[in-house]
Amino acid sequence: MVPPHGRIRPLGLGEVDLGPGFWAALQDTNAAATLDHCEYWMERAGWLANFDRVAGGTTGRDRPGWCFSDSEVYKLLEALAWEYGRTGRGEVDDAVRRLTARVGRAQDADGYLNTCYGHAGQEPRYSDLETGHELYCTGHLLQAAVARLRTTGPDALVDIARRAADHVCATFGADGTGLCGHPEIEVGLVELGRALGEERYVEQARIFLDRRGHGTLRQDRVPLGSAYFQDDVPIRRAHAWRGHAVRALYLSAAAVDVAVELGDRELLAAVEGQWEHTVARRTHITGGMGSRHQDEGFGEDWELPADRAYCESCAGIASVMVSWRLYLATGDMRYVDLVERTFFNVVAASPSADGRAFFYANPLHQRVAGEEPEADALSPRAESGVRAPWFDVSCCPTNLARTLATWHTHAAVAEEHGLAVLQYASAHVRAELGDGRVMGVAVETDYPRGGTVAVRVTEAPAGMAALRLRVPAWAAGAELEEGGRRRPVPPGAAVVERVFAAGEEVRLHLPMGPRLIWPDPRIDAVRGCVAVERGPLVYCAEEVGQPSVRDLDEVRVDPSVPPEEREGGVVVVRALTGAAPAPEGAWPYGARTEVGGGSAVELVLTPYHQWAERGPTAMRVWLPTAPPGR
Amino acid sequence: MVPPHGRIRPLGLGEVDLGPGFWAALQDTNAAATLDHCEYWMERAGWLANFDRVAGGTTGRDRPGWCFSDSEVYKLLEALAWEYGRTGRGEVDDAVRRLTARVGRAQDADGYLNTCYGHAGQEPRYSDLETGHELYCTGHLLQAAVARLRTTGPDALVDIARRAADHVCATFGADGTGLCGHPEIEVGLVELGRALGEERYVEQARIFLDRRGHGTLRQDRVPLGSAYFQDDVPIRRAHAWRGHAVRALYLSAAAVDVAVELGDRELLAAVEGQWEHTVARRTHITGGMGSRHQDEGFGEDWELPADRAYCESCAGIASVMVSWRLYLATGDMRYVDLVERTFFNVVAASPSADGRAFFYANPLHQRVAGEEPEADALSPRAESGVRAPWFDVSCCPTNLARTLATWHTHAAVAEEHGLAVLQYASAHVRAELGDGRVMGVAVETDYPRGGTVAVRVTEAPAGMAALRLRVPAWAAGAELEEGGRRRPVPPGAAVVERVFAAGEEVRLHLPMGPRLIWPDPRIDAVRGCVAVERGPLVYCAEEVGQPSVRDLDEVRVDPSVPPEEREGGVVVVRALTGAAPAPEGAWPYGARTEVGGGSAVELVLTPYHQWAERGPTAMRVWLPTAPPGR
């Protein structure tokens, strides 16, 4: 369970100081807009007042919100707790205390805490484990408490969480039965158990994990089959992620934590195998996971439609949670590569530039421009092609808030005898190594605009130490510059291992030219297409603002001409347009017709994470190649 | 509203006598197995007893079945009525009377008839027009009565339907409001109105049609948008079918009937335009309609995934209903072409060979072999890849039963001065023409095995008459043989117009060699693929029983070699196998890799309508073409 370079320790908020750049801008927007936005909508929707009504004994059948709305409050609490840890702004701490007080008053004497079940006029506690989401909500409460513990130490929120966790252990312990239709309690329990040193909580998470996969959840309540909630096969025996994507990924995140805590190599290997199979055959080019709208789920192998790609923002976050844990457990940079891809092309794609609207689904092809949602309505539309301020099921905004607030903790880790820099952004990192020494580095870069990353040692440990810089899998041709000399470094990690002195600098040069990407020929949905990437960014063609193309359906890219970079992060590819469409009204299947002609045009591509920022538009990530015709 | 060759009159059951062949076999199985099978399952599920319980005053909250289960009883009644008309078998008439009696006893004094609403312990009548399906059920009751009227004349079932229709008119008339979330009452009303000469019913159908499309149905009850139930745009203004496919098609079938009854050219033109747009851009090669599982609905233009093609059996039936009516109204053979395609590749695909199991969805690509459903359970799985005996929502089996019982009435029509033969099967047709003369023909063919259709005049009208034989759009190179001479006839219709004598024969020769079919280049999902057709049949590759291919995902077809027909209706194409797969565990997107090699094999194709008859299997209609690699 110990990676080859020694145990890897993730850094706390105080150990990484993020400088200006791509991610700092997202964090600032999150702090300045999204956190308030979430509280505003939850107040407005009555999801916060649900706690007051339980406390006041006035809740009932008219309780607003889905049964899982408590979890949004907890995810906001978690985001606020991390945000206070990041900046120390007093009003953020005030918000944590204010929300904590309202939540705490709704907790029953025995530790049970849920505003949807168990009170007058409501269904009894745990009467619908399949869809009731009670333990799911509790899991998010526990994660919020972990954020508080990791930033300010024990407080009222931690006490609430401890009582809730004790109640769960008492109700669902080794002699009990039952599990939640939506995994999350598992990761909450193991995280809180680790943070508090409470082995009981870790063990309860393990119990839930191993209790799952035996078909005990009632399928008549969710007619999508037991795979929907991963109750079809025990996690130790499954070969791939399947069913509802967020459920599958939260479950696996918990499994890695439990495996590490209990030294359970079998469990870790099982999740590694599922990651490998799923990433190779069930993952979209953006890192997005989930191919089906019907069950928000994974499809079969190679079922990766661009137009109906679901790629829920929450599934992207959950995928980062799993890959990050697998990296910490194994030191394998493949996991960090997927984290980067998912950060830039799923997580960063969801929020609008102003932090007050969000994508729920992140498709790779929008056939028809979306319609702006009604400004004041909870959007039922997870698939509108337009970011919406809030949703009827609004899991993504708060999930983004908690993730963005902690983005910089994924930038680097402490190893036994050195530091590893994993995500490139200007930052100062100062951390205690596994061997007790301290090492500091300052990273300077305008990545992903440019590909040069300068890492200057600001504090050198005495004696030999290692500086490890991730070389992304896409970065063939990368070079490491040290003392004026450059040497090629293959994907994986560039390692400098020697005695360092403060002020010394190494530079990583990543090749940032745009490149054409071909899909595996077994991915039916995008056969005959190419995509374009530049650095870690996937690009797309929008119909809006496209100078020489009116209809994206008519464009064919010429893959023999390399894509060109232009000013402003724009990439241009050569294409034919106006060729090929069959006569209107015809049956669209028939004999082969070679269609020539068409005009050569330039197709302008923009980073996928920015799509629909200039207004509703059709959009394609995968571009059909010439020749056109059938 | 009168087609160029004079008004077209559909034939009654007594005017077409079907001989042995493809469709007679399906009709026989329907008669011998499916009708009893449907009654057995509805008795077993309590859907029939629901009527007894209403009559006995014992129904309540524990009523089994979905709110629309009454409609299955009515569709079975309709099937039985047609079947009695077809064969005159006394036990079938007994079944009609037996079921009619049980239904009738549940009717309220004011004509209201529904087992799910309006009685003690139930929600009030019409309290949920969006999803309650009360008027939908009534529509099917009316269609059952029409079948009885058209075969035996007025009886108890017709009286029940008349009272129900009067109740609907009184409740939802011109001064009223409200419409049903699932269209069907419209087609029931117009059909019954026409059969009884009751203009009020036709007018009520028109009222419902024009009341729709103004967003009056509550979307909070069905969060799929108002297009789901075609309440987004009035039918006269819509440009394409959209939303739930069966809903859209039942509505359009009613619209054509209303347009014809009222001489409403605007309404007819609107449906013609919707047909044209939808067939060109939203229809699968099988004729199947519906691309999305989530809402059983049409997707956007060009959204035609093979693997997630929904192509509900009921949507195929509903499509036949619309196209048939459009042909009768216009005489345009394009509509009959689609009827044929849909009959052979959707309707015939659904039932198993024994008539006791059914496909609900009819995808064009099954990635993983399905699992046999539990023998005794209502299958929740509309997408299992295996035919199931009955479904939780079991609309398709009874819909197939009523359709198959009347298949032969689609074989020919009477024109003003002649007969048109539209679907090829051995049959004897004798009908009164529009001008009052009588004409008879005997058709002999083993179509779709062979492509020769012999039409012998058995009864010649005095003077000039026309014999019109449809030449399918796929049949380029067809020839008409008359008096020993053959002449080419283009797609559309081959017409012989002269004075006929009994005993004279003409022969249509349709080219039945297998042919490769390319999709329109704008259909993203099947880019780089071909399909194979032979005559009216779409073919597919099954993994089961495939002599030289193990994994369908690895096959690439060589389109430069024409497909070859072999014994037993089998077609063989040349393919490469074993080439191209990327290394296991790799990220599936990257630089172009030309992959050579692979073994040349023969890929065996079978008619799509037979797929999964040899057991659960992976299957593809669309076959990727060589070269492999990315």
Q: What is the ipTM of this complex?
A: 0.94
Q: Which residue of B294, B520, B527 is in closest CB contact with A527?
A: B527
If one counts the domains in chain B, the total is: 4
Q: Does A219 touch chain B (CB under 8 A)?
A: yes
Instruction: With beta carbons less than 8 A apart as the criterion, state whether B55 and B122 touch.
Output: no
Cα–Cα distance measured from residue A286 to residue A537, given in angstroms and rounded to the nearest whole number? 8
Mean pLDDT estimate for chain A? 94
Which pair of tokens denotes residue B269?
A: 């033109």
Q: Does A361 touch chain B (CB under 8 A)?
A: no
Task: Encode burial over A411-423: b for 16+ CB neighbours within 10 A, e otherwise.
Answer: bbbbbbbbbbbbb
Q: Does B594 touch chain A (CB under 8 A)?
A: no
* Chosen domain end from B486, B509, B532: B509
Pairing of strands B418-421, B464-471: parallel
Q: Does B625 touch chain A (CB under 8 A)?
A: no
Closest C-alpha to B518, from B534, B508, B531, B509? B531
Flag whether A13 is in a domain.
no
* Chosen domain end from A479, A509, A539: A509
Residue A416: give its domain's CATH number. Answer: 2.60.40
Flag whether B360 is in a domain.
no
Is residue B26 domain-shared with residue B172, that is, in the same domain? yes
Q: Which residue of B365, B527, B591 is in closest CB contact with A518?
A: B591
Which chain A residue has the Cα nearest residue B300? A367
Is residue A70 domain-shared with residue A148, that is, in the same domain? yes
Q: Residue A630's pLDDT is what?
A: 38
Asked if the model's pLDDT at residue A93 lies above 70, the reply is: yes
H or E element at residue B573: strand B571-577
DSSP state of B244: B
Dihedral pair phi/psi, residue A130, rounded to 5°:
-65, -50
Is residue B541 domain-shared with residue B471, that is, in the same domain? no
Flag whether B220 is in a domain.
no
pLDDT under 50: residue ranges of chain B: 628-630
Asked if the model's pLDDT at residue A62 lies above 50, the reply is: yes
Cα–Cα distance measured from residue A505 to residue A483, given in angstroms and rounded to the nearest whole number? 8
Q: Residue A628's pLDDT is what?
A: 42
Percent of chain A with pLDDT over 90: 88
Is residue A47 domain-shared with residue A115, that is, in the same domain? yes
Asked if the model's pLDDT at residue A583 lies above 60, the reply is: no
Q: Residue A134's pLDDT is what?
A: 98
CA distance A302 to chain B (A): 9
Q: Which residue of A307, A516, A584 is in closest CB contact with B303?
A: A307
Asked if the model's pLDDT at residue A629 lies above 50, the reply is: no
Q: Does B279 touch chain A (CB under 8 A)?
A: yes
Q: Which residues does chain B have within 8 Å of residue A473's beta carbon, measured at their own beta carbons?
A: 587
| Single-letter amino acid, residue A381 | R
Which pair of tokens denotes residue B309?
A: 């093609």
Cα–Cα distance measured from residue B360 to residue B397, given in angstroms and rounded to the nearest whole number? 8
Which pair of tokens denotes residue A80?
A: 């606020």
The per-residue pLDDT for range A346-398, each reduced to its tens digit, is: 999 999 999 999 999 999 999 999 988 777 777 766 777 999 999 989 999 99
Q: Does A580 touch chain B (CB under 8 A)?
A: yes
Q: Does B128 touch chain A (CB under 8 A)?
A: no
Residue with tokens 């073409």, as numbered in its chain: B625
Residues whose CB falls within 8 Å of the CB of residue A180, separated by 6 or more in sequence, listed in order = A129, A133, A134, A135, A136, A139, A208
Is residue A41 domain-shared with residue A121, that is, in the same domain? yes
* Chosen domain end from A357, A386, A410: A410
Q: Does B560 touch chain A (CB under 8 A)?
A: no
Chain centroid offset of residue B64 CA: 28
- The domain in which residue A431 lies consists of 412-509
Q: Which residue of A523, A586, A589 is in closest CB contact with B519?
A: A589
Q: Which residues does chain B have within 8 Å of residue A223's beta carbon, measured at their own beta carbons?
A: 380, 392
H or E element at residue B261: helix B245-262
Is residue B265 domain-shared with residue B276, that is, in the same domain? yes
DSSP state of A345: I
Q: Does B218 touch chain A (CB under 8 A)?
A: no
Flag whether A419 is in a domain.
yes
Is residue A305 domain-shared with residue A210, that is, in the same domain? yes
Residues A205-220: what's their mean pLDDT?
93
Q: Does A354 touch chain B (CB under 8 A)?
A: no
Flag whether B216 is in a domain.
no
Cα–Cα distance measured from residue B213 to residue A244, given in angstroms and rounded to the nearest whole number? 34
Which chain B residue has the Cα nearest residue A629? B521
Is residue A345 domain-shared with residue A487, that is, in the same domain? no
Is residue A132 domain-shared with residue A173, that is, in the same domain? yes
| Single-letter amino acid, residue B148 | R
Q: Residue B629's pLDDT is what?
A: 40
Dihedral pair phi/psi, residue A480, rounded to 5°:
-110, 130
Q: Residue A567's pLDDT is what?
A: 86
B620, β-bridge pairs: B365, B541
Residues A557-583: what's their mean pLDDT?
84
H or E element at residue A190: helix A185-196
B36-43 long-range Cβ contacts below 8 angstroms, 24+ apart: B37/B355, B37/B356, B37/B389, B37/B397, B38/B72, B38/B76, B38/B79, B38/B397, B38/B398, B38/B401, B39/B76, B39/B95, B39/B99, B41/B389, B41/B390, B41/B394, B41/B397, B42/B69, B42/B72, B42/B73, B42/B76
pTM, entire model:
0.95
Instruction: With beta carbons less than 8 A apart as the criterion, state whether B196 and B140 touch.
Output: no
Closest C-alpha to A71, from A149, A15, A140, A10? A140
Which chain B residue has the Cα nearest residue A303? B307
The per-residue pLDDT for range A242-298, each reduced to its tens digit, is: 999 999 999 999 999 999 999 999 999 999 999 999 999 999 999 999 999 999 999
Is residue B13 domain-shared with residue B148, that is, in the same domain? yes
Whether B522 and A585 lie within 8 Å, measured CB to CB: no
The region, left, alpha or beta by phi > 0 then psi within -120 to 50, assigned to residue A153 is left
Instruction: With beta carbons less than 8 A apart as the criterion, state whether B235 and B217 touch.
Output: no
Pairing of strands B505-509, B564-565: unpaired
Is residue B316 domain-shared with residue B245, that is, in the same domain? yes
Cα–Cα distance measured from residue B150 to residue A458, given in angstroms and rounded to the nearest whole number? 93
Flag whether B68 is in a domain.
yes
DSSP state of A170: H
Flag whether A2 is in a domain.
no
Asked if the model's pLDDT at residue A546 lies above 60, the reply is: yes
**Count of H-run helices and E-run strands, chain A:** 14, 23
Flag whether B354 is in a domain.
no
Is residue B397 domain-shared with residue B419, that is, in the same domain? no
